[in-house]
């Protein structure tokens, strides 16, 4: 069965960096675009960004562009989110999400990992 397992969350000071990972299994990873979606405590869902199936294309929300970088290793079935210059408003649960092929919607989500930016 499809599994997406995030890791790497924790408490980090403002201005510092953190790297999240997502281990994918149960499907052919290289066939799918992958996304990160976040949710601040008590708030709604916010799209963070995506990487194409082959890693050649990346798109980011305006709120993280220039600070966050998404990458993938198709040989290891892993997705990563490098977060630099973190701010208090980046505090959220971060979800690794699989987009159904060429559809624009998400059919599988990880359980999420909490990132807290605080001094």
Partner 1 sequence: SYVLTQPPSVSVAPGQTARITCGGNNIGSKSVHWYQQKPGQAPVLVVYDDSDWPSGIPERFSGSNSGNTATLTISRVEAGDEADYYCQVWDASSDHYVFGTGTKVTVL
Which residues of the shown chain bind partner 1 in the complex (CB under 8 A)? 35, 37, 44-47, 50, 59, 61-62, 95, 100, 103-107, 109-112
User: Distance between CA atoms of 82 and 71, rounded to whole angstroms?
Assistant: 8
CA distance to 13, 14, 119, per residue, from 96 (Å):
23, 23, 26
Q: Which C-beta is closer to partner 1: that of 82 or that of 107?
A: 107
Smallest gap, in angstroms, from Cβ of residue 44 to partner 1?
Answer: 4
Retrieve residue 16's tokens: 């510092």
Smallest gap, in angstroms, from Cβ of residue 116 to partner 1?
Answer: 17
């Amino acid at each position: 069965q499809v599994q997406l397992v995030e890791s790497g969350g924790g408490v980090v000071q403002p201005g510092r960096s953190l790297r999240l990972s997502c281990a994918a299994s149960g499907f052919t990873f290289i066939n799918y675009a992958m996304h990160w979606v976040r949710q601040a405590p008590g708030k709604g869902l916010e799209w963070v960004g995506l990487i194409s199936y082959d890693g050649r294309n990346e798109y980011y929300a305006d709120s993280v562009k220039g600070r966050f970088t998404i990458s993938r290793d198709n040989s290891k079935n892993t997705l990563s989110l490098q977060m630099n210059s973190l701010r208090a408003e980046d505090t959220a649960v971060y979800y690794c999400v699989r987009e159904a092929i060429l559809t624009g919607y998400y059919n599988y989500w990880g359980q999420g990992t909490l990132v807290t930016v605080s001094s």
